[in-house]
């Protein structure tokens, strides 16, 4: 059974904060179930499908295309989540958003990770 959460980012400040927030749950070398890759930079806006958005939320506009969800955070960040692979990739322009969105993605997906027997 696959379990675990993997976060990847080249930003050391974010790593230090994530480590502080999630250190109680950290374990070594567990197979991953949910993977989150966070990079600071220009979000890939061209990947958003051309279609109507789901009902707007206060924080973002959501576009669903099959198993993939695109969250546009007021054109400051874009999170792309593939539910079939349990993989997230996103790129905000601002470091604070990099941490915040990763933290929220962790919390939203952690309940989907099966517990080991």
The pLDDT of residue 1 is: 33
pLDDT tens, 98-113?
A: 888 888 888 887 776 6
Position with higher pLDDT, 101 vs 27: 101
* CA pair distance 74, 81, nearest whole angstrom: 17
Tell the burial category of 51 from Cβ atoms under 10 Å away from its Cβ (0-12, 13-18, 19+): exposed
pLDDT tens, 54-70?
A: 777 778 889 999 999 99
C-beta of residue 92 within 8 angstroms of C-beta of residue 79? no
* CA pair distance 92, 41, nearest whole angstrom: 6
Is 60 exceeded by the pLDDT of residue 2? Answer: no
């Amino acid at each position: 059974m696959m379990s675990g959460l993997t976060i990847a980012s080249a930003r050391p400040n974010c790593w230090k904060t994530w480590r502080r927030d999630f250190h109680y749950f950290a374990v070594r070398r567990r197979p991953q179930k949910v993977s989150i890759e966070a990079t600071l930079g220009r979000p890939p806006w061209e990947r958003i499908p051309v279609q109507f958005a789901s009902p707007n939320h206060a924080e973002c506009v959501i576009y669903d295309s099959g198993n993939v969800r695109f969250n546009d955070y007021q054109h400051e960040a874009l999170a792309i989540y593939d539910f079939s692979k349990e993989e997230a990739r996103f790129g905000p322009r601002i470091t604070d958003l990099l941490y915040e969105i990763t933290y929220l993605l962790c919390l939203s997906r952690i309940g989907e990770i099966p517990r080991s027997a």
